[in-house]
Structure 1
Amino acid sequence: MSIQDRSCPASADVLKSFICNLSSIVGHTMAVTGKAVVSNLDHHTIDLELLKYCAGRLIEMFWYLVLVVCKQKGLFGL
């Protein structure tokens, strides 16, 4: 799945695009984590694969932000 969610139109306004992507990822992460908690209440554990996926999505968002800043500043020839 791409970092640029289909519901977030490509926009010249980087801040709006970033907020849209961040809200999409946070919402998805909360939904997946909530699903993991509810499905594992009887076992008192949370599926580690789902937690790794959520952490991976947040790390992906961090690198997306780094890329956006580098492009705006013209760093590293981007």
Structure 2
Amino acid sequence: MTIKPQDCPLVAVFAANVRRRRLELGISQEELAERAGVHRTYVGMLERSEKNATLYSIQRLAGALEVEPATLLLNTAS
């Protein structure tokens, strides 16, 4: 059974955390992509929950966002 990324709650949590942290840092999707070494459209797709990030991508994005990878997977919404 295949689950689409947008139907997985953890993908949505990750997307929201990446966007929130990027905005906290005041950087664009393009700048985040450059810092993380990924394509700029990939960042947008992740933030819209259209793609499922690999562990490798999570680590690279976390470094670019100056947080621990686990931080991007925590559901902090109340």
TM-score (norm 1): 0.36
Greater relative contact order (Cα 8 A, min sep 6): structure 1 or 2? Answer: 2
